[in-house]
Amino acid sequence: PTGVAVLDMSDPRNPVRTETLVTPAMQTPHESLNISVRRGILAAVMGNPTQYPGGIDLYDLSGDCRHPVPLAAAFPAAPFGHESGMAPDGLTFYPTSLGTGHTTAVDISNPRLPRTLWTGEYNTHGMTVSDDGRRGYLAARQGLIILDLSEIQDRRPNPEGREISRLSWSNITVPQVPLPVTIGGKPYVVEVDEYATGPD
């Protein structure tokens, strides 16, 4: 069947399908499935490898994650979809589109009525957000882009995601996702490309 399978993994040797999510974005979420652990919300944007209408689906996982409860389906919050990011507080979902150059901030504080806060012209593949929600790390076609998301996080009127810096490298292929990590007490961002190139 089509859609997103929900598996009960309490016995990892015998996973059991408990649901199949068949709302529009769950039919074609591409790489966008994302969860807010803090709020118990599952989110996805309707996407594919190039571009697809960016309708948002949201589900409540807080009661029983084996049986997600639909909250919003195909809500037109983003122009296009491919992958996504999620603020750690679970209040902002970030649909991204590598093929069309769109990164969107969607307020999901009321998950039954998402609303678009901001759309920026960044052709983002994967995206992560700092613990305080104020920094966005974008894996874009050009490399790693760091944005100041403070105005979005603070819900300022007409917020902007302001570019702080960008970094490229000589053997860049398709940047996939940047991962903030702490090593020896020092913060780093590890970026992973989707493909690798040889020494030539």
| Helix, strand or coil, per DSSP, at residue 70 | strand
Q: What is the pLDDT along the chain (200 residues), one digit of tens a residue?
A: 799 999 999 999 999 999 999 999 999 999 999 999 999 999 999 998 777 888 999 999 999 999 999 999 999 999 999 999 999 999 999 999 988 889 999 999 999 999 999 999 999 999 999 999 999 999 999 999 999 999 999 999 999 999 999 999 988 999 999 999 999 999 999 999 998 766 65
Model pTM score: 0.94
**Using CA atoms, how far apart are residues 181 and 198, in angstroms rounded to an integer?**
27
Q: For residue 167, which of 135, 198, 134, 189 has the smallest C-alpha distance? A: 189
Query: How far apart are alpha carbons 57 and 7 in whole angstroms?
Result: 19
Instruction: Please answer whether residues 180 and 164 qualify as being in contact, where contact means their C-beta atoms are separated by less than 8 angstroms.
Output: no
Coil/strand/helix, residue 61: coil
Neighbours of 148 (CB within 10 A): 15
